[in-house]
Amino acid sequence: MRKFIIRHEKQVLRAFEILPGFFSWNMILFPYWGIFVFPNFIAYFILLFNVYWFYQSFLVAITSIVSHLKIQAAINYDWMADLKTFKDFKDVNHLIIIPTFKEPLHILERTINSLVGQTFPTKQIAVILAMEEKELPEDRNSKFEILNSKFETRCSVV
C-alpha cells in the first residue's frame, strides 16, 4: 500500500481533495438518489427530518416569547427602588467612558442625553470623552466645550 501511494502520489492527493466534496454532495443529494435505492428509509428519514425541524422551530418560538416577556419585565421593574435598599448607594459613582473618533456632535449629544435622561442620580455619573489624538485638536476641543457647556449642570463631562 505504501509503495502504491508513493508511486501514485499526485493521484492519491487528488482523490483526497475530491473526497470531502464528493461526500458532501452525496449527503445533500441523498434524498433524491436514495429514493430509488431505499424508498422506505428515505421516507422515514424525511419525515423525521421534518419533525426535528418543526421541534427546533417550536423551541425558537417559545424561547423568543419567554425572552420578550423577560425584557418587558425588566423594563417595568423599578430598579431605583431596588437600588436604594443598598446602604452604600450614595457612595457609588459611575464612570462612563465614551471612545470617539470623528464622531458627529449630534451623536455624542444623543448619547449623553440618554445617560442624563435616566432615573439614576446624574451627580453620581461622570462621563469621559476619550477622543482619538488623530482627530484635529480644534474639532476635539470644540466638541468638548459644546458638550461640557450643555451638560455641566446635569452631569460632569471630562
Please give the share of the chain, as a percent, with pLDDT higher than 70: 96
Q: Write the pLDDT tens digit of every residue in 57-103.
A: 999 999 999 999 999 999 999 988 988 899 888 888 889 999 999 88
pLDDT at residue 24, rounded to an integer? 95
Residue among 120, 125, 131, 122 nearest 98 (CA): 131
Q: Which residue is associated with the grid cell 416569547?
A: 65
Residue type, 33: W
Average per-residue pLDDT for the chain:
90
CA angle at residue 43 from 62 to 39, to 5 degrees? 165
Distances (CA, A) of 137 to 74, 101, 108, 142, 146: 42, 12, 17, 8, 14
Residue type, 101: F
Q: Write the pLDDT tens digit of every residue in 103-155.
A: 899 999 999 989 888 888 888 888 888 888 888 888 888 888 888 888 876 66
Distances (CA, A) of 152 to 8, 90, 100, 104, 146: 79, 20, 19, 19, 10
